[in-house]
Amino acid sequence: MKEIERRRTFAIVSHPDAGKTTLTEKFLLFGGQIQVAGAVKSNKIRKTATSDWMDIEKQRGISVTTSVMEFDYKDYKINILDTPGHQDFAEDTFRTLTAVDSVIIVIDSVKGVELQTRRLMEVCRMRKTPVIVFINKLDREGNDPFYLLDELEEELQIRVRPLSWPIEKGVRFKGVYNIFEQKLDLFTPDKQKVTEKVEVDVNSPDLEARVGEREAKKLRSDLELIDGVYEPFDRRQYLDGNLAPVFFGSALNNFGVQELLNCFVKIAPSPRPTQAMERMVEPDDPGFTGFIFKITANIDPNHRSSVAFCKVCSGRFLRNESYYHVRLDRNFRFSSPIQFMAQRKSTIEEAWPGDIVGLPNTGNFKIGDTLTQGEKLHFKGLPSFSPEMFKYIENADPMRAKQLAKGIDQLMGEGVAQMFVNQFNGRKLIGTVGQLQFEVIQYRLEHEYNALCCWEPASFYKACWIESNDNAELEMFKKRKYQFMAADIEGRDVFLADSEYVLQMAQIDFKNIKFHFTSEF
């Protein structure tokens, strides 16, 4: 129980460019994992961010895949997942949210709440995941703090309660008053070091001496207004997903980050129960259970290895123990399970609920697989979504057909995109949720597998999985739509509708066929 209680597993999510990766970087700085914080938009002098370790991430200054990092802070063990913000990689982020116990949402104080943030919040609401909001970039001329709080309540449909409050913003930014600890943090812009904290009573004249008369007066009236408008912070409400504490700061300048971290480890939940199809799995159940929520190929370019990320749900995971793989119905022994610091890895002897363990994958794992000590369990909620963009993939170098086949196989196993084989012409069709995915696939095939590919346009509207209890009707449908039928990598039937109208007519004409828009059915 002691090990479970000290675990904190959470994801950092936001719209692109709000500052997730920068915030992650500063957490690592406080956790003593790195000595100098890296920058996302890197030039030759600075080091790049720890969690953006892929070449394409360093070049573009965006996160393409979820990075897993763990460190100790005070008495707590923190597992942090830095997710991609770009909507083209939303599927990776949605799957990551199934493996965490709480979430920190980063909001840009200049732009406010953006579309991608709303979508992510919907997923958190659906799963009742507790949320903390960090309003970033206060060293820029942004929106009024009260305006931002109203926007959060309206757009994200959640009650908020500020636990820190900014004194001015932009060039006049003086610092933050920490309501949770009742301390004043004075701002000095520095990207590598931490600012000083001062214990000041809000009503003492000392406040004027530190921030100026006008600012002190405004801070007092703001704090009065906050106490009048927002109900006091209630941890129970936060844990139930009904109330979001709000912090202000500037991640780039290291400001307000430690306050967020200190409060987070105190109030955030330790590992929570996980729902399986058969039963609810409690973290303190004696038997080990875990599920695979992500697969990444080529974390180490020298070994071309693929790693499956396993979230431990209950019991204790031990190295060299034998565990039951439910889908394959056989036992596996893992001699080198690993823990992560983005790309750096180290072998571990044991892991507890809440931890993320890396297991070497030689093609045995797929996203959603369950490992147990013999019990047949199935964890749910790790779907693949119906793709909306399609291109045929062709080999651009006939001498490298083997490398291309292996590359496609591993990248599809990661869940980066989905591959269908068109039954009419036998061509391979790649489906994604965003245009950027095609560029990432092409780049990674060339640089990680030494294989060249080229894309050819395919005009389909949507892919949907079909099933039916009426075999005769299913066969008739397949014959009639022969040109638009494909199989996914599991060999399941997929209908490639070429327009919304065609899809609607098919649903009307064939009453006994079910059309699914996620792969989980």
Q: Is the pLDDT of residue 158 over 80?
A: yes
What is the reported pLDDT for 386? 77
Q: Is the pLDDT of residue 472 over 70?
A: yes
Cβ pair 501, 509 in contact under 8 A: no
Overall average pLDDT of the 478-496 stretch: 89
Residues 175 and 169: their CA atoms lie apart, in Å, by 9
Half-sphere exposure of 115 (CA within 13 A, CB side): 4
What is the reported pLDDT for 454? 92
pLDDT band at 37 (very low <50, low <70, confident <90, very high): very low
Q: Is the pLDDT of residue 50 over 80?
A: no
180: tokens are: 């949770």
Residues 437 and 213: their CA atoms lie apart, in Å, by 53
Residues 471 and 476: their CA atoms lie apart, in Å, by 9
The class that CATH gives domain 274-372 is alpha beta
What is the reported pLDDT for 325? 92
Q: Is the pLDDT of residue 299 over 80?
A: no
What is the reported pLDDT for 43? 40
**Residue 136 forms beta bridges with which residues?**
108
Q: Is the pLDDT of residue 63 over 60?
A: no
Task: Select from 104, 255, 139 the least CA-distant residue to 186.
Answer: 255
Residues 314 and 310: their CA atoms lie apart, in Å, by 12
Cβ neighbours, 10 Å, residue 361: 21
Angle, CA 245 vertex, CA 243 and CA 249 arms, to 5°: 155
Instruction: Give the tens place of pLDDT for each residue, 171-182.
Output: 777 778 777 777
Q: Is the pLDDT of residue 237 over 80?
A: yes
The amino acid present at 224, given as its one-letter code, is: E
What is the reported pLDDT for 150? 92
Task: Select from 280, 374, 369, 382 the least CA-distant residue to 327.
Answer: 369
Q: Which residues contact 521 (CB under 8 A, 6 or more apart)?
A: 465, 467, 514
Would you say the C-alpha torsion 382, 66, 120, 86 has a positive or negative sign? negative
What is the reported pLDDT for 276? 86
Cβ neighbours, 10 Å, residue 255: 28
The amino acid present at 47, given as its one-letter code, is: K
C-beta pairs of 508-515 under 8 Å, 24+ apart in sequence: 510/468, 510/473, 510/477, 512/468, 512/469, 512/470, 512/473, 513/466, 513/467, 513/468, 513/470, 513/473, 513/474, 513/477, 514/466, 514/467, 514/468, 515/464, 515/465, 515/466
What is the reported pLDDT for 89? 58
- Least confident interval from 157-171, 181-195, 321-335, 470-484: 181-195
- Least confident interval from 5-14, 25-34, 254-263, 331-340: 25-34
What is the reported pLDDT for 80? 83
What is the reported pLDDT for 342? 47
216: tokens are: 């002190």
Please give the biggest Cα pair distance in the chain: 85
Choose between 434 and 450: higher pLDDT: 450
Residues 382 and 93: their CA atoms lie apart, in Å, by 11
**Residue 17 forms beta bridges with which residues?**
none
- Least confident interval from 21-35, 239-253, 405-419: 21-35
Cβ pair 405, 359 in contact under 8 A: no
Domain 389-516 has CATH 3.30.70.3280: yes
Overall average pLDDT of the 420-446 stretch: 87
Domain 9-71+83-267 has CATH 3.40.50.300: yes
Overall average pLDDT of the 295-301 stretch: 70
What is the reported pLDDT for 44? 39
Residues 333 and 319: their CA atoms lie apart, in Å, by 8
Choose between 38 and 413: higher pLDDT: 413
Overall average pLDDT of the 205-223 stretch: 80
Cβ pair 136, 18 in contact under 8 A: yes
**Residue 345 forms beta bridges with which residues?**
340
What is the reported pLDDT for 40? 45
User: Where does 67-142 have alpha helices with state H?
Assistant: 90-97, 115-127
Residues 338 and 335: their CA atoms lie apart, in Å, by 10
What is the reported pLDDT for 88? 56
Residues 504 and 242: their CA atoms lie apart, in Å, by 38
Q: How far is CA 280 from the centre of its chain?
A: 23
How far is CA 17 from each of CA 13, 63, 112, 171, 400, rounded to the nearest angstrom? 11, 10, 12, 21, 37
What is the reported pLDDT for 196? 58
Q: Is the pLDDT of residue 319 over 80?
A: yes
pLDDT band at 365 (very low <50, low <70, confident <90, very high): confident
Residues 111 and 91: their CA atoms lie apart, in Å, by 24
Q: Is the pLDDT of residue 192 over 60?
A: no
Q: Is the pLDDT of residue 464 over 80?
A: yes
Choose between 342 and 208: higher pLDDT: 208
Cβ pair 496, 484 in contact under 8 A: yes
Instruction: Give the tens place of pLDDT for each residue, 73-114.
Output: 888 888 888 776 556 556 667 777 888 889 999 998 888 888
Q: Is the pLDDT of residue 411 over 70?
A: yes
What is the reported pLDDT for 41? 44
9-71+83-267 with 389-516: one CATH topology?
no
7: part of which helix (H) or strand (E)?
A: strand 7-13
Percent of the chain exceeding pLDDT 70 equals 84
What is the reported pLDDT for 324? 92
What is the reported pLDDT for 420? 92
What is the reported pLDDT for 15? 77
Q: Is 94 helix (H, G, I), strand (E, B) or coil?
A: helix
- pTM to 2 decimal places: 0.79
- Least confident interval from 1-15, 18-32, 360-374, 495-509: 18-32
What is the reported pLDDT for 45? 38
Domain layout of the chain by residue ranges? 9-71+83-267, 274-372, 389-516
